[in-house]
Structure 1
Amino acid sequence: MKAMSKETAKIQFDRYFAKLERKKAAKSIQVLVQSDKLDFQYGYSSGEWNVPFHIASIGKVFTASLMMMLTEREGVLLQDPLLKYFTGSELEGLFVVKGKDHAKDVTLEQLLAHTSGIGDYFEDSVQIGAPMTKLIISEPDKNWMPSELIDFTRERQQAVGVPGQVFHYSDTGYILLGLLIEKVTGKPFHQNLHELIFQPLGMNDSYLLYYSVPSNPQKAIQDIWLNGSKVTANQSLSADWAGGGIISTPKDLLAFYKGFNAGALFSKEKIRIMENGRHKFRRGIYYGTGMMEIHFEEFFFLLRGLPRVKGHIGILSTHMFYDPTTDTYIIMNFGSSEQMTQSFKALIEIVTRLKRIE
């Protein structure tokens, strides 16, 4: 593979993302690539730079991080049973498989790793009514409370398997974790985010949508498109909460991930637990305990040799990844659920060219 200079890489990245915009292959793009090891920094934006955007399920890394902090500060154990923190009635109907209630068997780690068997209010099919993704579009003024999200799964969906025996990605599980964080700390979820993560790491443009405001003056966010509909101003986006309701910027996410890797939030041992991708999410994507690992070679055999980046994606084609081989952080937002394939092509483009920088 032919080596290239840093300046050549930047020029080629500019051409690549500009071409996507000309072809209307993306509605709006923000990209940040930064590596101390390579002495390389690159940024691209369709408009103004460092605009706040909805990070979607990248927010699960933040919820998982708060949980890891509780294990070191509050005596919470990952193997604790969920029933240690919730009553039986609060969990009623959420973990029933073939008529048997498995709530007593669920651990905190299983919720974090999506192996509890609980349904997913956000993307699973429903037995009655409309699915959540359609409701977010059709009922834009609806303010979803966390308890309503749990009830959505309880009343309209079913558990998919016995705890510990199946991987099933679940936003409902992360809503339970958000509620648990509130129970343990005695503080609202958004207050924990600000006090334990945003403020210590200098994330002054970050906040939880419809629950808090940033330290800096609040700015308009990048447009959000869900299944072809513009939902930027929808109150119904309150359905994300602890599953991914954070608004942030490329620079703030870079500050987060650098602080995370440096051990500013909790021990390196806990970081390794989060990163350990033991469960196959789908082809090429493996899940640990709140984080993903990408195996590019499973997408296409010619991608064999690309590094296994770690981080998370979100349904709005948001990316936050770290390449340990080049010490590179990659933050991207395409702002639309319909741009996931294109955003992964962009990730491959970035990682491939980074390997060639001399």
Structure 2
Amino acid sequence: MIPANAQNINQLLSSKLDSISENPVHSISVYIKNQDGVLIDQVAGLRAKEGEKALSTDQFRIASSTKLFVSTIVLQLQEEGKLSLTDKVYPYLKDIEYLKLDEFHYYDNLAFAKEISIEQLLSHKSGLADIFNDKQEAFFERVMQNPERQYQPKDIVDLYFEFGLHKETKYKPDEGWHYSDMNYVLLGLLIEKLEQKSLSQSIRDRILSPLDLKDTYFEYYEKTETNKARLHQYIGNIDFDMVNTSFDWSGGGVVSTHQDLATFIEALFNKKLISETSLQKMIAVQPTIKDHLPYGLGVYKSVYNNHTFFGHYGFYGTYIGYCPRTKTVLSYCISQATPSFNTYEFVNAIVESVK
């Protein structure tokens, strides 16, 4: 593959910058790399509305792409014989009192939490509702009442019950698909129970340290020595860099860079983190719902320029993915959750520019 013309890419990125609308885009960065080297490593715009010029090495919140890290650890634990994906999660977590697992999943007034498997959590097939998507207005209002509040997993679970979501499940386990961070809250607690350490420490010990990812950390749950600048990310015109997003936890709490994410996903697909068997299980995607991408175990299947990529999207306009056929990494950060343009079409045009 031949690198794209840098000037053309810069013009394309700059054309989508927007500092005045209700959905401003102050920076866009794109990183594409294959086995021959880096093909695109470019950024346009400012770190924030009145910030310094953005750099392609700046950190950003990867949001739900964190699920790739969590899924990887769960598959590692299966390889180590500490769990099986077919196991029900109930026996592992029933002793966590605030979970109230017996009441966690009601459907048609019947309790089904005991039937939820680890694999169903990974693939969003448990039927659990989501505090972010299903109660978005109430949740957003709660967060903005105290934007500096530090959340712990218990606080996330307490909100789940306060919003009555345990009685608003979508279906019986394994009878449908519904994207819910609550699946990954349970997985985070499962990892902590089995590892007897914090989730942030497990991510560091199992992924960040072995891969020497110096610019990646689990925000609000661990101290970090990194002093890199960071891209501010927005929801509409609200700068979420000013909001404590510890509520994302296992569903989306990692901060990283394009370069570190490339190292991570290359290691994942080169079987440096999990076996070929586990990798194939992870990317064995299934249909989800109408107009939504196929999903595996913490991974989406996407197509860019007629090439299949496996990876994950993040809420604030981010993505990290890998194409096994061409051994290509794609990472981008739009820095806006609700841009006024079609992100897929925009990124696809960039990928098409690489011959």
Is this a same-fold pair by TM over 0.5? Answer: yes
How far is the alpha carbon of 1:138 from its aligned partner? 3.4
Q: 2:348: which partner in 1? A: 348
Query: In the alignment, is the contact (CA less than 8 A) between 1:97 and 1:161 conserved in 2?
Result: yes
Q: 1:31: which partner in 2? A: 30
How far is the alpha carbon of 1:205 from its aligned partner? 0.8
- The superposition leaves residues 178-200 of structure 1 with CA deviations (integer Å, 9 ceiling, x where unpaired) of 01100000010000011100011
Query: In the alignment, is the contact (CA less than 8 A) between 1:228 and 1:338 conserved in 2?
Result: no
Q: 1:230: which partner in 2? A: 239
Aligned pair partner of 1:291 in 293, 299, 310? 299
Q: 2:50: which partner in 1? A: none
Aligned pair partner of 1:100 in 97, 105, 110? 110
Q: 2:9: which partner in 1? A: 13
Which residues of 2 match residues 23-102 of structure 1 at below 5 A?
26-37=25-36, 39-46=37-44, 47-87=54-94, 90=99, 91-102=101-112
* Separation of aligned partners in 2, 1:263 and 1:29: 31
Query: In the alignment, is the contact (CA less than 8 A) between 2:4 and 2:40 conserved in 1?
Result: no
* Separation of aligned partners in 2, 1:104 and 1:276: 25
Are residues 1:219 and 2:217 paired?
no
Query: In the alignment, is the contact (CA less than 8 A) between 1:208 and 1:245 conserved in 2?
Result: yes
Which residues of 2 match residues 1-358 of structure 1 at below 5 A?
6=2, 8-21=4-17, 26-37=25-36, 39-46=37-44, 47-87=54-94, 90=99, 91-125=101-135, 131-156=138-163, 157=165, 158-214=168-224, 216-235=225-244, 237-283=245-291, 285-295=293-303, 306-339=306-339, 341-354=341-354, 357=355
- The superposition leaves residues 93-125 of structure 1 with CA deviations (integer Å, 9 ceiling, x where unpaired) of 221001100011100000000000111111113
Query: In the alignment, is the contact (CA less than 8 A) between 1:285 and 1:295 conserved in 2?
Result: no
Query: In the alignment, is the contact (CA less than 8 A) between 1:317 and 1:337 conserved in 2?
Result: yes
Q: 1:299: which partner in 2? A: none
CA RMSD of the aligned region, Å? 2.1
* Separation of aligned partners in 2, 1:277 and 1:33: 23
Query: In the alignment, is the contact (CA less than 8 A) between 2:71 and 2:122 conserved in 1?
Result: yes
How far is the alpha carbon of 1:70 from its aligned partner? 0.7
Return closer, same or farther for 1:323/1:284 CA change in 2, 3 Å cut-off.
farther
Q: Partner letter of residue 176 of structure 1?
A: L
Unpaired runs of 5+ residues, structure 2, are: 45-53
Return closer, same or farther for 1:92/1:228 CA change in 2, 3 Å cut-off.
farther
Return closer, same or farther for 1:191/1:159 CA change in 2, 3 Å cut-off.
same
Identical pairs, percent: 25
Query: In the alignment, is the contact (CA less than 8 A) between 1:169 and 1:281 conserved in 2?
Result: no
Return closer, same or farther for 1:123/1:35 CA change in 2, 3 Å cut-off.
same
How far is the alpha carbon of 1:339 from its aligned partner? 2.5
- The superposition leaves residues 298-354 of structure 1 with CA deviations (integer Å, 9 ceiling, x where unpaired) of xxxxxxx71221101011110101123322101111122112854322321133233
* Separation of aligned partners in 2, 1:243 and 1:152: 15
How far is the alpha carbon of 1:282 from its aligned partner? 4.8
Aligned residue for 1:311, secondary structure, equals strand
Aligned residue for 1:131, secondary structure, equals helix
Query: In the alignment, is the contact (CA less than 8 A) between 2:191 and 2:199 conserved in 1?
Result: yes
TM-score scaled by structure 1? 0.88
- The superposition leaves residues 60-119 of structure 1 with CA deviations (integer Å, 9 ceiling, x where unpaired) of 111111111111124210000111201175313221001100011100000000000111
Q: Partner letter of residue 127 of structure 2?
A: G
Return closer, same or farther for 1:253/1:197 CA change in 2, 3 Å cut-off.
same
Unpaired runs of 5+ residues, structure 1, are: 297-304
Query: In the alignment, is the contact (CA less than 8 A) between 1:68 and 1:266 conserved in 2?
Result: yes
